[in-house]
Amino acid sequence: MSVASRAPAYIRSIQPYQPGKPISELAREMGLPEADIVKLASNENPLGMGAKARAAAEAAIREAFRYPDGGAFALKAALARKFGVDAAQLVIGNGSNDVLEIAAQTFLAPGTSAVFSQYSFAVYPLATNARGARCIQVPAQAYGHDLDAMAAAIAPDTRIVFIANPNNPTGTFVGGAALEAFLAKVPEDVLVVLDEAYTEFLEPEQRYDSLAWLARFPNLLVSRTLCKAYGLAGLRVGYAIAHPDVADLMNRVRQPFNVSAVALAAAEAALGDDDFVARTADINRRGKQQLTDAFASLGLEWIPSAGNFVTVRVGDAAAVNLALLRQGVIVRPIAGYGMPEWLRVSIGLPEENARFITALRNALG
């Protein structure tokens, strides 16, 4: 008997997460200079990191020989001020991925289940399987969440429902009224993890106030990140806002120093940089138009996206992806999500989008 064979069956059957290919790796593989490679694969901020966040990170690195503030006092105070919540409602994560994992670790165990949609974020089955809990995957409706079917799928052993809004990898969006009606249907002992990783990219008419629902729905957890619109993907910071009892349990389960001192400092500064987030949303809006105009002229089908990426149907996506890689363009194939004809393209700077469009035109011959 090997050690590996003794790991629980639910661990051995986990399908690994497939990240976007790093620029350095493609450069090595194709013998291309890194500067010539365009990466539109991981929904990162094309503007980079905001100047305020960078300055705070640079200052914090000098003190990085010390352990971070495990209680994240300053960042929690900034979040509490910005969103009008209590610090006791907050859990800070090493990226919002960590928040999702901590929620799963806190509420899931063998003999329980989690509900999520087909074509939703790959971390939901990962986090569920890693606790030996059962996945209840609900068929999507037009590549998005079918909230009625999800409510109906909740079983007596269900402890968490995961909802990404906007959804990744499809970019679909459900409106506030539908979400609120869904929350009213969910049993009060089932945690609803509302994953708002892309909420800063919503158009004004799409916005809804999920934090206002927390008072009425103590089983709601809103998860957000500073990795996407705030430009801190490599530093890893996200947060949950929930009922204090839920946050308290999650804070007991998380690692005592789960977020680095540099990330905490950068996050606090980034939160105060509304101008950077506004510029990010603006360039995203224009880039989305640039991409979808190109898809229309190429006769390609795409899924209308509320996020900072667009998912487009290209036919043999594996072959098209390879042709793009040969031209130094990295996007994300999503066959692992059961969408083998589609590619997910992160929205970049205008010139990056143009490089992708030219490469796509070539790839499609």
Ligand X SMILES: *Cc1c(COP(=O)(O)O)cnc(C)c1O
Which chain residues interact with ligand X by CB under 6 A?
Answer: 43, 95-97, 121, 164, 168, 195, 197, 225, 227, 233, 238
CA distance to 177, 205, 346, per residue, from 305 (Å): 19, 14, 11
Q: How far is the CB of 223 from ligand X (least distance, A)?
A: 7
Q: Return the axis-axis angle of helices 274-297 and 51-61, rounded to nearest 10°.
A: 120
299 φ/ψ sector (left φ>0, alpha ψ -120 to 50, else beta): left
Q: Which is nearer to ligand X, 53 or 294 (CB)?
A: 53
Q: How far is the CB of 117 from ligand X (least distance, A)?
A: 11
193 strand-pairing partners: 162, 221
Q: Which is nearer to ligand X, 107 or 294 (CB)?
A: 107
Token reading at 336: 């692992």
The amino acid that residue 127 corresponds to is A
Q: How far is the CB of 96 from ligand X (least distance, A)?
A: 4
Q: Which is nearer to ligand X, 79 or 227 (CB)?
A: 227
Q: How far is the CB of 334 from ligand X (least distance, A)?
A: 12
Q: Which is nearer to ligand X, 200 or 355 (CB)?
A: 200
Q: Which residues contact 217 (CB under 8 A, 6 or more apart)?
A: 183, 192
End-to-end CA distance of the chain: 52
DSSP string, 182-231: HHHHS-TTSEEEEE-TTGGGS-GGG---GGGGTTT-TTEEEEEESSSTTS
Question: Which residue's CB atom is positioned nearest to ligand X?
Answer: 95
Q: Which is nearer to ligand X, 195 or 268 (CB)?
A: 195
Q: Which is nearer to ligand X, 232 or 269 (CB)?
A: 232
What is the rounded CA–CA span in Å between residue 231 and residue 135? Answer: 32
Q: How far is the CB of 36 from ligand X (least distance, A)?
A: 26
DSSP string, 292-329: HHHHHHTT-EEE--SSSEEEEE-SSHHHHHHHHHHTTE
Q: Which is nearer to ligand X, 267 or 317 (CB)?
A: 267
What is the rounded CA–CA span in Å between residue 254 and residue 252? Answer: 6
Q: How far is the CB of 167 from ligand X (least distance, A)?
A: 7
SS3 content of the chain, % helix, strand, coil (to 5): 45, 15, 40
Q: How far is the CB of 238 from ligand X (least distance, A)?
A: 4
Q: Which is nearer to ligand X, 144 or 238 (CB)?
A: 238
What is the rounded CA–CA span in Å between residue 344 and residue 338? Answer: 13
| Residue 347 and residue 287 in contact, taking contact as beta carbons nearer than 8 Å | yes
Q: How far is the CB of 179 from ligand X (least distance, A)?
A: 15
Q: Which is nearer to ligand X, 238 or 348 (CB)?
A: 238
Q: How far is the CB of 196 from ligand X (least distance, A)?
A: 8
Q: Which is nearer to ligand X, 68 or 328 (CB)?
A: 68
Which residue is listed with tokens 């006791």? 88
Q: How far is the CB of 291 from ligand X (least distance, A)?
A: 18
Nearest to 305 by CA among 263, 345, 360: 345
In 10 A of CB 17, how many CB atoms?
Answer: 11
In 10 A of CB 198, how many CB atoms?
Answer: 25
